[in-house]
Chain A
Amino acid sequence: MNPAHRARAQLLAYAVAVMLASALSTPAWLLAGVLAALLLAGRQALVILRRALLATLAFSAVVSATYVGHVWWLTATLPWDWLLTVNLRVLLMALLTFLFIARVNLFLALGFSRRLSFLLVLATSQALALRRTLADFRLALHSRTIRPAGLRARYRAAARAMAWLLDRALANAHESAQALQARGWFE
């Protein structure tokens, strides 16, 4: 199959799988889904499982622990069904997403719309470059202060970073438009 068609089919399959997983409320089916997703991940199963757990653990753990405490306080029982259903569903959906990210080229999958895939490529490349510069700004602030910077200094640094970001974005937009015009994109 053509790689672009294959990526589009995978995007569609992912959307359907996520929707189905979100509608499931039977722990056995959800567990089967988790195992199937891990099987599909093959050698990457552990890496994908780790990523999915890290991405969802904070929110799920706080909600689960609070709900367990709440139900125990009211009824002196543990809500096993809810715990299993919701945590397996959250895990399954996160596994599907990380499997999709690992296996599918999103830029190729969105190739049916030239504008959409172009927008995504341009936005992602610029976003990663801007993020890297922001990390440099943070390190620069640390390296120029002997003691940890005070609240006022950190606010001023954050505001400067925001202003720089937006200024850079305006310049990037102008440069990209000129580059595209020079290459005949708008004709």
Chain B
Amino acid sequence: MHIPDGFIAPQMYLPLYAMAAGLWAYGARRVGRELDEATLPWLASLTAAAFALSFVALPLPGGTSAHVTGVGLLAVLFGVWHAFMAASLVYAMQALLFGDGGVTTLSLNALAMAFCGALSARAFYLAVRPLHVGLALFLAGWIALFLPALLVALALGAQPLIARDAAGTPLYFPFGWSVTLPALLIPHALLGIGEGALTLLGARLIDRLRTRYRTG
């Protein structure tokens, strides 16, 4: 879902930056309040892990692969604000250090993938956990990929409505919701199954490692 710069109109990305800035400021305070003096190294390590998670291949049938976002796993293990701050920093690093993904689209990616992805994953996990822990972990991973895809599809599809010339020609991303919704939602509904499976397996392995350290 990494959209390069130039497809999102300033009428959309500037207000989104204002919203994201508010959440980043609150997130920084919240993470700082919840942790002690080790906040900075903790956030740095979590960011590094989130960055590296995006290089873990999500195996697909036929020998191909996509890449996981890891936002669902981070939200389940460390909470919404830690996942949001870490994933936001990753998108900023990818854009400003490696030129991967846009700078103007950073606010959209941070709000859709990092914030809404983490929030929905945590909410699904907490809601379904009393019924079945495994299902809760799987759904957390799935929704953390699917909901951001829906939000990005809505944002992209809104471009022809908010920025067009006098003749009605779009000036940025040219397709409306009738194209963006199926184009993003169908593949991400399927990719979400892989992300859900990896969230389930990853969370269980982490749990086992923590238990081993406690008993060892």
Q: Enumerate chain A interface residues (CB-CB to B < 8 A).
A: 18-19, 21-23, 25, 51-52, 55-56, 59-60, 63, 66-67, 70, 79, 81-82, 85-86, 89-94, 97-98, 100-101, 106, 115, 118-120, 122-127, 129-131, 134-135, 138, 148, 151, 154-156, 158-163, 165-170, 172-174, 176-177, 180-181, 186
Contact = CB atoms under 8 A, between A and B. Distances in A.
A162 B53 contact: yes
Interface residues of B, number: 65
A179 B45 CA distance: 14
B190 interface: no
A155 B59 contact: yes
Contacts of B51: 123, 127, 130-131
A18 B103 CA distance: 8
A117 to B, nearest CB: 11
Contact of B103 (A56, A97, A123, A127): A97
B177 interface: no
A167 B41 CA distance: 14
A149 to B, nearest CB: 8
Contact of A90 (B7, B43, B95, B174): B7
Given A97-B103, A169-B46, A123 B4 contact: no
B44 to A, nearest CB: 4
Contacts, number: 211
Given A159-B198, A165-B53, A176-B45, A119 B100 contact: no
A166 B208 CA distance: 12
Interface of B: 2-10, 13, 37-38, 40-49, 51-53, 55-59, 61, 63, 65, 68, 70, 73, 77, 89-90, 93, 95-100, 102-104, 165, 169-175, 194, 197-198, 201-202, 205-206, 209
Contacts of B102: 93, 97
Given A89-B6, A123-B89, A156-B201, A173 B53 contact: no
A119 B40 contact: yes
A170 B45 contact: yes
B58 A126 contact: no
Contact of B49 (A100, A115, A159, A169): A169
A25 B99 CA distance: 23
Given A23-B10, A93-B104, A158-B198, A166 B73 contact: yes
Nearest to A60: B4
A122 B104 contact: no
B68 A162 contact: yes
Contact of B37 (A21, A163, A181): A181
Contacts of B165: 25, 81
A173 B42 contact: yes
A119 to B, nearest CB: 5
Contacts of B103: 18, 93, 97
Contacts of A60: 4
Given A25-B165, A25-B171, A158-B58, A168 B49 contact: yes
B13 A22 contact: yes
A180 B46 CA distance: 17
Contacts of B58: 158
Contacts of B197: 155, 159
A21 B4 CA distance: 13
Given A97-B99, A131-B51, A166 B37 contact: no
Nearest to A169: B49
Given A67-B175, A124-B93, A159-B201, A165 B37 contact: no
A162 B40 contact: no
Contact of B40 (A118, A130, A155): A118
